[in-house]
Structure 1
Amino acid sequence: MAGTLGQRMAWRDERTFVGRERELALFDAVIAGDAAASVVFVHGPGGVGKSTLLREVARRAARHGFTPVLVEGRELAPVPGQIEAALDGVAAHDRPLVVFDTYERMAAVGGFLRSRLLPGLPEGSLVVLAGRRAPEPGWLSDGWEHITTTLELGPLGDEDATALIAQHGVTTAAADAEARVTALLRWADGSPLALALGAEATAAALALGDELAALPDLDDPAIGQAILRRLAGSELDGGDLDVLAVAAIARLTSAAMLRDVLPGTDPEEAEAWLRSLSFSEPLGAASRCTTSSAAR
């Protein structure tokens, strides 16, 4: 019997997954019931591989009898009833795995999840939330701290990064390959998104016979735009890109700084817009841009 396009996509996704042994060991313990956690909060900057990790966790959980249910924050309309509709019928499963991806887009309903929806799930449920920011205090108080664990996702090490780009067609088999791989590792700085896009661009150049292509041209607008689309989506529509450029360079960005370096900009309005971005981390009176270094 012929397979489907969805099955082919899932097979390819599983085949290209590499690394994350530490993180998967934690999830394996939770799935097997060897850990007290029923809620796992994964956080890390855009492009670090949160969604990829969640798909691997869902595959492993399904093999242990869980029923995966994905709620994607980017697809929820900002109208009442969307969360309830997304979780309709979940409680009928004995062991649902409820995954909230891009949680930063739905963080405003965190209190509603904790007080109304999640407590009614079956005892054997596993809930995974993934977002760019660390969990709000509510996930670690009022009793939730007893069943919630947090997991910060960082860049890939060189060994796993090398394995990832090999999956995308850049290996040590070709001439000058070691220098090419080393350059790509240095450029991507452990970001799985940058590694994948950079490796694909390099493999495409090699396929055209460009044996001198050590890594993608960092000034190539196509690569920069591809990373930006993946990291920011539509968040930048109508925004002030000069403000974003300052935030990407500066360690911390505040209204006072923006007043000094961008005199034609309303500093308070610009800071408020910057704080609203999913890849901006508010730090007291300032903000920090949390996009990967490769994307900058």
Structure 2
Amino acid sequence: MGRNYTSATMFVLLGLTDQKDLKLFLFPVFLGIYLVTLMWNMGLIILIRMDSHLHTPMYFFLSFLSSIDIWYTTSICPRMLSDFFRDEKRISIIACATQYVISCWMAMSESCLLAVMAYDRYVAIRSPLQYSTIMVPALCWQMVGGALGTGFLGSLAQTVPCFNLDYCGSNIIQHFFCNLPQIIVLSCSDPFITQTITFLEAIFVGFGSLLLILLSYGFIASFILKMSSIKGSFKAFNTCASHLAVVILFYGTALSVYVHPNSKNSKKQDKLLSVFYVIFIPMLNPLIYSLRNKEIKDAFKRIMKRVTHIV
């Protein structure tokens, strides 16, 4: 049968809030957080690249985690900040698809990379003498490539069928960025394929990565408990503490956003949790790794000494 409707070519983002006073308060706050996120993550990447003492697998993976956080927050924050000054927050379907494919790519890649980093910590604690022979540069690159490749293919697999659906009714996205659950509900065609792909990817990529992390930390915990030295146990746990904190933040917030019963207040809750997920976590990750990390502090002091000598 022929179609008797015209598919929408534009979406309208509802945004965070319509209250002008709240906008005036939130804009400088979120702009400051975004700039701090960029500076802290870029600074960490540069520090790791410049200091040879940090040329280890753990910091190699950490530099890519910072890169992912930069891309993830940049795919959403600049558009969100500019929307504070727009009465009607129109976005083309192409721009919306681009924003979603990048943000989804980075989120899925981060999930996989956190699993890789958990395995790296397991090897470091379980086999410290063989660590350098196991975690060779070629393997590290393959792991990072696998994480980024999985994230990219996964994001494409969601984005292509989603944006090939017909959107002929309401075009208002009940969010401040293009997020698949809020987009699918606007479709006037059957979203079964998109929903099935999204569900399978959540199981195999999201929960699969979480399972690998839990298994790695299960082995780490059993190994630490067998240690006779309390000092050795504390040192082993301390090497995992930062990564474990990042994992809890990432998965705790993600599960809160995507796994909860629908209710009248769920849309507001989604926005608040998404703000934390999109804006705060990319800023907190480098802080968590840096504040209690003696190696990073020492590397920063060495770089500062070089700079002062040059000046």
- Normalized per residue, the structure richer in strand is 1
TM-score with structure 1 setting the length: 0.24
User: Higher RCO, 1 or 2 (CA under 8 Å, sep at least 6)?
Assistant: 2
Larger fraction in helix: 2
